[in-house]
Amino acid sequence: MTHRHRLLLVNGPNLNLLGTREPEVYGTVTLADIEKLATVTAAEHGLDVRAVQSNHEGVLIDEIHNARNDCCGIVINPGALTHTSIAIADALSAVNLPVAEVHLSNIHRREPFRHHSYVSAVAEMVVAGAGPEGYAAAVRYLAQGHTP
């Protein structure tokens, strides 16, 4: 059934480890904390959230395709696939939903291989370096463009 009051929240490879390793780069919040923050923020705007995380590119692509049926926007942190995956960018483009790209860290002040994102070309907005709050900003951005 079509459900146009839902955002898909996608987190890519290794983001399930948040809060357990590299706190100096990624902070101490867990993926569950981030999913809760996104859900609470969306609820303030009358939206709900389907949160998915996978370490497998094809699973992420299938989830993006499924969003076509019941979501009104996609918040995505593709993890390292940001920098490598034309397939994720193509899937996002194909579903024709507004996309907000999130990175916990500021990818532009890190290693050069993190500076390019294939996803940014198909994203309406990008937030990097704001930590978990970037997810809330992305949700608010998409919620504001939402027409009931």
Binding site for ligand CA2 (CB under 6 A): 14-15, 17-18, 21-22, 26, 77, 79-80, 82, 103-105, 107, 114
C-beta of 127: minimal distance to ligand CA2 in Å? 10
Q: Which is nearer to ligand CA2, 3 or 21 (CB)?
A: 21
Among this protein's residues, is 103 annotated catalytic?
yes
C-beta of 69: minimal distance to ligand CA2 in Å? 26
**Bridge partners for 11 per DSSP:** 53, 77
> How far does the chain reach from its first CA to its final CA, in angstroms?
16
Among this protein's residues, is 26 annotated catalytic?
yes
Long-range pairs of 106-113 with CB within 8 A, sequence gap ≥ 24? 107/82, 113/83
Output helix, strand, coil percentages for the chain, rounded to the nearest 5: 50, 20, 35
C-beta of 33: minimal distance to ligand CA2 in Å? 13
Q: Which residues are catalytic?
A: 26, 103
